[in-house]
Structure 1
Amino acid sequence: MATPEFILELRKKVGHDLLWLTGITAVVLDDDERVLLVRRADTGRWSLPAGILEPGEQPALGLLREIEEETAVESEIVRLVSIEALPPSSYPNGDQVQFLDFCFRCRPIRGEARVNDDESLEVAWYSLDDLPELTDRELTYLANARKADEPPLFAR
């Protein structure tokens, strides 16, 4: 998984110190209520499509870019699911990060789900009754995304 150039440039200045970044996560549900998942190349775990916004990029547009880059599926945004500050974390090289994550519910428009970059090992549609292991956060996002009139989740 390639580190975006803007992060490499920031790391030259701040070293391994904590970087505050904007993350984006997608719950892509098709008409059969299947969810689009990717098996990440860096961890080998299944997850919702996600990424990092480029400087100046709008969250919804950046997420549509990420979905297509990772899965070859073109989508549209249905609604905001959540805005959440995730806990700080560290990468194996010592880089520290903390994400402000925007999660959106999306629906596919066109495209065949497949691995479309080097960030994913597999891409697949999963029935909600037969999901691989996901994080508690992702399961919460998925549950909230399925509720048509649910307001976005955020800390109160």
Structure 2
Amino acid sequence: MFPTPDQDTPRQELTRALRLLPRVPHGRAAATRRALPMVLPASHLVTGETLLLRVTHPDADLPPWDGTVLAYEADDEGGRPGSPAPWQAQVIGVATVTHPDRRVREAFPPPPRYARHPEATYLRLTPRYASVYEPGPPAPARPWLPRPRAGGDEPPG
């Protein structure tokens, strides 16, 4: 759940999000273009308390990024042998265009197959809000609840 607009996300939630994001190479950047939502694939690097994003796009008709509010979301659904539990992290903040040097550009993972466009914009995102979802342990059995009857019929209540 996001905080109300007049308060930032508590520091520990931002820290959790920034701790999880390096576990995956890609995510999705969301902004608006002409008041309509736009979601683009992106690669990311966590640099302290900010994110560097490499947003790939096939089209030059993009919004001006400097100063725009941007949401960035990445997740790991798990399910692979030895993988950690699934999680989802989203951060929201103001993006600014940046021009990293070649060494930093080469540190980015390659874009996903579906997003290999030659055009890319590099952004620095300073998160103010964060939301993290990590499923907890399964709920304990509650033997005091009535069990369904054979045949799937629920007892009259």
User: Same fold judged by TM-score > 0.5?
Assistant: no
In our comparison, the structure showing a higher alpha carbon Rg is 2
TM-score (norm 1): 0.31
Greater RCO (Cα-Cα under 8 Å, separation 6 or more): 1
TM-score (norm 2): 0.31
